[in-house]
């Protein structure tokens, strides 16, 4: 009976370590500056910049318009494997953007699950 207990304990810690690794790589991938184009909103296509910082495998940051003016601080980020959900406030409304890794410098997703979003990493020169 003890062997079964050790087996289940070992399996639990193995699964826990795999989950932590997935979140770490997601935070590392999305850290940086992203240009996100949201298509088909009532105000037309909207372009925003997301500045994401990796603080101990937790993403924080803020949202800018295309002129560099801050729109909002990011109130939270949920991480899944190769996907994040960014929560922020815009024009008095709490909104979210889901971005999923497409390749090294591109991501696809949606704003509020209604409008398509395309993200591209802005590389520092």
Using one digit for the tens of pLDDT, what is the confidence trace for 58-113? 999 999 998 999 999 999 999 999 999 999 998 899 999 999 999 999 999 999 99
Question: What is the torsional sign of CA 110, 72, 46, 121?
Answer: negative
Report whether pLDDT(3) > 70: no
Mean pLDDT of 45-64: 94
Query: What pTM value is reported for the model?
Result: 0.78
Which candidate, 119, 74, 122, places its Cα nearest to that of 101? Answer: 119
Domain ranges of the chain: 2-121
> Which range among 4-13, 29-38, 93-102 shows the weakest confidence by mean pLDDT?
4-13
Q: Residue 124: is it exposed, middle or buried by C-beta count within 10 angstroms (0-12/13-18/19+)? A: exposed
Banded pLDDT at 22 (limits 50, 70, 90): very low
Q: Look-up: residue for tokens 């020169």?
A: 125
Is the CATH number 2.40.128.120 carried by domain 2-121? yes
Could you give the CA distance from residue 125 to residue 120 in angstroms, rounded to a whole number?
15
The mean predicted confidence, pLDDT, of the chain is 85
Task: Determine the pLDDT at residue 91.
Answer: 86
Cβ atoms 66, 49 nearer than 8 A: yes
């Amino acid at each position: 009976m003890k062997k079964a207990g050790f087996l289940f304990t070992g399996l639990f810690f193995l699964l826990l370590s795999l989950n932590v690794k997935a979140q770490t790589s997601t935070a590392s991938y999305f850290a940086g500056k992203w240009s996100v184009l949201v298509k088909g909103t009532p105000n037309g296509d909207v372009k925003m910049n997301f500045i994401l910082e990796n603080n101990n495998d937790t993403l924080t940051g803020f949202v800018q318009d295309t002129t560099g003016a801050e729109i909002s601080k990011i109130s939270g980020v949920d991480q899944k494997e190769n996907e994040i959900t960014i929560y922020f406030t815009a024009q008095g409304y709490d909104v979210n953007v889901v971005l999923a890794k497409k390749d090294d410098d591109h991501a696809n997703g949606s704003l509020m699950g209604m409008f398509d979003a395309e993200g591209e990493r802005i590389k520092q020169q």
